[in-house]
């Protein structure tokens, strides 16, 4: 049976959603973030040397990295679902968004989180100065870049219902986390199509089953 090593409020939530879409049976092993640092507990290093989540075990295989997990699960259990036909224009878009999610979108949104939280661990006397610097970096560098990405998502979702075409694919599962993160912490308005994308995935029975299995999902701000 597939085992998902699940860290609360993390990228592994979308792995649970994918497994529910595929109708796979799985076992959930839960891990909790440190409430102050938000880091994963050291126990995860016993599963994978980097100590990150998601990590999936399936027989002799142990996989990390969301994109690799999505590809593996669809290859092994998809039976033609959640992936466009090879050689099609939709498949090229599928491959692009599958890699874009972590390669381009998430580093910027992680940087946003770092600067949002930056003043908190600083001594009280220095906090106003650090907060001012953090706000300027966000306003002048980070937020305009996030705006560019959100506008890009809005434009691409104007081409088709989902990121790779008219059918839900693993690329949408992969892209769900950047869009959820942007909604939680971007500080700029999402476009209507991006908002509709989130509404569509939140309404899916498989997404709701994944939420029930994990006990909920809320990203740090």
Do 103 and 150 lie in one domain? The reply is: yes
Q: Which of 43-47, 111-115, 164-168 has the highest mean pLDDT?
A: 164-168
Residue 130 has pLDDT above 70, yes or no: no
Q: Which has the minimum average pLDDT: 7-11, 84-88, 162-166, 169-173?
A: 7-11
User: Could you report the per-residue pLDDT of 42-67, keeping only the tens digit for each?
Assistant: 999 999 999 889 999 999 999 999 99
Regarding whether 99 and 79 lie in a shared domain, the answer is no
Residues 100 and 194 in one domain: yes
Lowest-pLDDT range of 65-74, 116-125, 169-178: 116-125
Task: Identify the burial level of 100 via C-beta atoms within 10 angstroms of its C-beta, where 0-12 means exposed, 13-18 middle and 19 or more buried.
Answer: buried
The more confident residue out of 177 and 129 is 177
**Residues spanned by the domain of 140:** 89-204
What is the helix (H) or strand (E) element at residue 44, kind and residue range? none
Domains: count for the chain? 2
Whether residue 68 sits in one domain with residue 106: no
Mean pLDDT over the full length of the chain = 90
Q: Residue 166 in 3-state DSSP?
A: coil
Walk across the sheet containing 2-7 and list its strands: 26-31, 2-7, 55-58, 61-64
Contacts of 84 (CB under 8 A, 6+ apart): 90, 91, 93, 94, 164, 165, 167, 169
Q: Which residues, in sequence order, are bridge partners of residue 5?
A: 29, 55
- Report if pTM > 0.75: yes
Q: What is the CA radius of gyration of the chain?
A: 18
Least confident residue range of 2-11, 100-109, 127-136, 147-156: 127-136
Same domain membership, residue 111 and residue 70? no
């Amino acid at each position: 049976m597939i085992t998902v090593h699940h860290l609360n409020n993390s990228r592994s939530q979308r792995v649970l959603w994918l497994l529910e879409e595929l109708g796979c049976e799985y076992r959930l092993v839960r891990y909790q973030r440190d409430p102050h640092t938000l880091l994963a507990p050291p126990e995860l290093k016993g599963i994978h040397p980097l100590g990150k989540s998601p990590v999936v075990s399936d027989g002799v295989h142990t996989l990390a990295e969301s994109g690799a997990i999505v590809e593996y699960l669809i290859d092994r259990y998809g039976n033609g679902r959640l992936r466009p036909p090879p050689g099609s224009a939709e498949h090229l878009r599928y491959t692009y968004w599958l890699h874009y999610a972590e390669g381009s979108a998430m580093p910027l949104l992680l940087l946003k989180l770092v600067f949002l939280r930056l003043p908190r661990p600083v001594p009280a006397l220095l906090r106003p100065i650090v907060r001012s610097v953090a706000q300027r970096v966000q306003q002048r560098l980070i937020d305009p870049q996030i705006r560019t990405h959100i506008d890009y998502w809005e434009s691409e979702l104007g081409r088709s219902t989902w990121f790779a075409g008219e059918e839900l694919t693993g690329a949408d599962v992969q892209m769900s986390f950047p869009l959820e993160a942007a909604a939680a912490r971007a500080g700029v308005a999402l476009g209507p199509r991006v908002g509709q994308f989130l509404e569509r995935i939140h309404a899916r029975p498989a997404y709701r089953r994944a939420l029930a299995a994990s006990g909920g999902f809320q990203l740090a701000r």
